[in-house]
Structure 1
Amino acid sequence: MNAKLRFTLLFSALVSIVVVLSGTTIYFLYAQTRKQVFNDRLTAQAVKVHRLYRSYIANPKETTGLISDDNMFDLQVVVFNSNLDNVKLITNQKSSIRFNQSLLFDIQKKKQVSFADGIHECVGISFSDPNCIVLIGAFDKYGLTKQEQLKNIIILAIAAGILSTAVIAFIFIGQVTKPLNKFNSQMERISESNLNERMPLANYDTDLNRTAQAFNAMLDRLQQAFEFQKSFVHHASHELRTPLASMLSHTEAALSRDDLTLEEAKKVLVSLKEDQQEMIDLTNSLLLLSQYAKLTYSTDWPLIRIDEILYELITAIKRAFTQVNIALEFAQVPDDEMMLSLHGNDALLRSAFRNLIKNAYQYSTNQRIVVTIDADAQYFKIHIDNQGQHVAAADQERLFIPFFRGQNAQRKKGFGLGLSIVKRIVELHQGTINYTALSENINRFTVQFKRIS
């Protein structure tokens, strides 16, 4: 069952319940009102009979005793004196009202009792001055006829209401779901081959516009992910092809010569080893990037002091690169050592800062690097500065994209994966990283982490 039919049936069922309850309520209220009105008329007739009985007591011979009402069908009257004897002289009608002593005693006690006798609706009233009991009943032919007519009208109205509601609901819901169906059709037309298409916003109401905007935002992310994937595969293939082509070229050149000396053969093997090492480095970088993409932040990670990691890294890098000059400074000395602590993975953080410091050394013109730690009430930052050629403004936004290499890196060895790995590690620790070109050819990478509470 499709949504349109389901909504139609549900709406029709709800309206039907309301209509049936309304019609039933109207019918029973009318029935109660008719019964009360007829009961009041019977009471009025009983009062007339009591007056007639009073006249009978005063002058029995002159009382004819005829009681009638043109609007009451089959009027029945019975009168009992104080001794509960049936007084038959005040009416010329033969009453068919069934009664017993218990009913008469009940009327004497309650003064007025309403009851039914077959098709007759009856009232029994106890009067004083003179004391008597009047039983009066009649068949409310006209009232019951109108009540039956009302019932038929209500049944027809309910049936017509339900039918018209179903038709109107079907048409209305069809109009309401029309843009949704169109929206669905447009969604079905979008696939991985045409992710550049977007849902139009002007033709929909506010709610569908919000849905369309969310869907378009998702398409933007998907398109970006697909483009990133294509770019990643393209650049990875290109980077792998370069050492493979070099290895093939050296191998073919060596095989084509019959007079290859031992020294020349060693040079070929050294060159092949360099290309193989380049492939291993590239593969390791790709594996790292893939592994880090699957990791998630954990509050169970141990507390790590960033300043201690930096001290140890700087010492190790100075031993590896003897010409490097690295200074570790504090913008302000923190009052609490916890200001520079965070929950993290020690090995990953060391890898990130090692990459940043080695990059700063590799692209520095004077081999001097300044690492500055700055902390405030909410965050602490690590600035890594070096002097060298600025990254072009057009390249700055793409610095952290895998395989991207700026104009200042064209003559340097590398794959363009280091900063991508660093960014992933920093974001894994809920931090941020950005590049700033300062004056006097100073390049600054800033890593920012939120202080633990």
Structure 2
Amino acid sequence: MRLSMRARWALMFGGLFLLAGTALLLINYVLVNEIVPQAGLFVSNFAGGPGVSGGATVTAPPPVLDKQFFQKGVEGAVDTFRASAMQKLLIASGIALVVTGVLAALLGWWTAGRALRPLNTITSTAQRLGAESLDRRINLDGPQDELKELADTFDGMLDRLAAAFDGQRRFVANASHELRTPLAVQRTLIEVAMADPTATPELLRLGQHLLHTNERSERLIEGLLVLARSDQGLVSRVPVRLDEIVDAVLRSSAAMATEQGVTLASDLEPRVVMGDSVLLERLVTNLVHNAINYNEDGGSVLIRVGDRPALLVSNTGPEVPASAVPALFEPFRRLNRERTASRDGAGLGLSIVRSVTHAHHGIVYANPNHGGGLWIAVDLPLLERTMTSLSPRPGADPAISRG
């Protein structure tokens, strides 16, 4: 069991006090042992005449008593007194030592708590920090000691991080406008040129190629902007019905699935998550489109929404090596595809899925299916409410089973 620093300090204070108290007890025992008279010395002084033994004045016994009998009786009485006194001294001192040791440990616990309170404040602030909550500060009050200097240094670092994130947000907003505008102008010019009745077949083929390239550039820029936005975290969170988002994405992807010869099936339970509806829609869209594109003719895609995981997308298709799965979540990585393969998009689909999931404090993981294909699960935090309080989505597709 791992002890906290506060507990270690309390045990250390208590242990040091017990060691010091034990040493003091031993010294006290030795001194008292020297002061309490020995039986033989006491009796010899007593029998030899008036004298002093252990601070007490003694006189010789009357001559009518048996001297040997009297000496044994006195020795026994003195031995009994000595043993009783030393035993009581040891027991009383031991009890006092244990009680005082416990009090020392409690005092050490209280002292350690006061000393470590600034560190607890720093730790709790660091745990609550995120890209969307960089406005939090420690603002530690107290004397200018090492802990105050640490807290002020941490606050200064947060100020610099907040400024950097604000600059990045402004850059993303400006880039979104500056990059999309020229691409839209290019698309318009190409379409106008292709609409010219005098356009030659060579010009039309070139126009189609340029439109395709322009479209891929738009997807790439859009993917990079979404990736940058999700990496910054969520500025605000609202309740979002994940099952309704999935249903809308499935309806919009039906034509794409039909064109690819893929069957879509769903099992959608009511599920509410706190987050951004636009980013969540992009997450679901990327997963569904990937499941359709990386499939086989006559294949299928199954999408489930529930509690744990919140979203599961499984598809048929070619075999996926387990060792290649982690790399699929890296930007511009595909399975057995070239980076420039235009029909497969920009290679940012699963990277955006991972980034959006992390922005919603969730995790995403994937594994190959038996017989080919892949299943990807997105686990998002549950809300503090029962799912039975949600009304089922009207028109939900019936659940299907899959082996």
Larger Rg computed on CA atoms: 1
* TM-score relative to the length of structure 1: 0.37
Which has the higher relative contact order, 1 or 2, with Cα contacts under 8 A spaced 6 or more apart? 2
* TM-score relative to the length of structure 2: 0.42
